Chain A
Amino acid sequence: QSVLTQPPSVSAAPGQKVTISCSGSSSNIGNNYVSWYQQLPGTAPKVLIYDNNKRPSGIPDRFSGSKSGTSATLGITGLQTGDEADYYCGTWDSSLNAVVFGGGAKLTVL
């Protein structure tokens, strides 16, 4: 069981918007920055969002992040077939002294 809780799958049509939730606790999301990673099939993960809502250079503004309390959300607008991937949230857990991830959400663009 993952420390952070994500829906196992999400789906939407091309051009539409989707959100992926990530729920934790005060020892992780509640008091630490959240990051989001995209993993395309057969490749290593890549950071999409860091420090809750910042995008690295090269990541389009179709991707956004937010945090409220002990939950975080990744938003993707203007969905493209190339966005089909697994998405993971991650943060530091101050009680465990460990990085914790969500179980991953598989995005299908219908």
Chain B
Amino acid sequence: QVQLVESGGGVVQPGRSLRLSCAASGFTFSSYAMHWVRQAPGKGLEWVAVISYDGSNKYYADSVKGRFTISRDNSKNTLYLQMNSLRPEDTAVYYCARGPVLGSGCYLYCYFDLWGRGTLVTVSS
């Protein structure tokens, strides 16, 4: 079954760290660019970060640059988001989303064709 399953969310105090995981199954994970997208309660979608199929290229939204790190382990079919120095405004549902496949003509993004169900991160004292 082709799917993405996020985990690692929870309640964390401001300034602390959290690591999210996204387990991929049913497709060749190592051939796809992968993204994190978040959605604050009652708000719209906000893109967070992207990593290329082989991990060689990464880009971040300005709002998380220097605090969040995206990574992947292709041997484990897993995407990660390390979140440091968390702020209340980072409170959101975090989705992992699949980008383009290697050789499709797109490199990091054309569209998201597969999304996980999301994991909720709440930053509060």
Residue positions of A touching B, CB distance < 8 A: 2, 33, 35, 37, 39, 44-47, 50-51, 56, 86, 88, 90, 92, 96-104
Contact flag A101-B46 (CB < 8 Å), given A44-B116, A45-B115: yes
Closest to B45 in A: A101
What residues of B have a CB within 8 angstroms of the CB of A88 in the complex? 44-45
Measured CA separation A56–B114 after assembly (Å):
11
Main secondary structure of the interface of B (DSSP, over half): loop
How far does the alpha carbon of A20 sit from the alpha carbon of B117 in the complex, in Å? 25
Residue in B46, B61, B111, B118 whose CB lies within 8 Å of A35: B111
- Which of A90, A99, A100 has most B Cβ within 10 Å? A99
25 residue pairs of the A-B complex, CB under 8 angstroms, read A2-B44, A33-B106, A33-B111, A35-B110, A37-B112, A44-B115, A44-B116, A44-B117, A44-B118, A45-B95, A45-B115, A46-B115, A47-B112, A47-B113, A50-B111, A86-B44, A96-B62, A98-B59, A98-B61, A99-B35, A99-B37, A99-B50, A101-B44, A101-B47, A104-B44
Of A56, A92, A104, which is within 8 A of B109 by CB?
A92
Min CB gap A45→B, angstroms: 6
Q: Determine the chain B residues whose CB is within 8 A of the CB of A98 once the complex forms.
A: 47, 59-61
| Interface residue range, chain B | 20 to 34
Interface 0/1 of B36-68, CB less than 8 Å to A: 010000001111001000000001111000000
State how many angstroms separate the Cβ of A74 from the closest Cβ of chain B.
Answer: 13
Q: Are A45 and B113 in contact (CB under 8 A)?
A: no
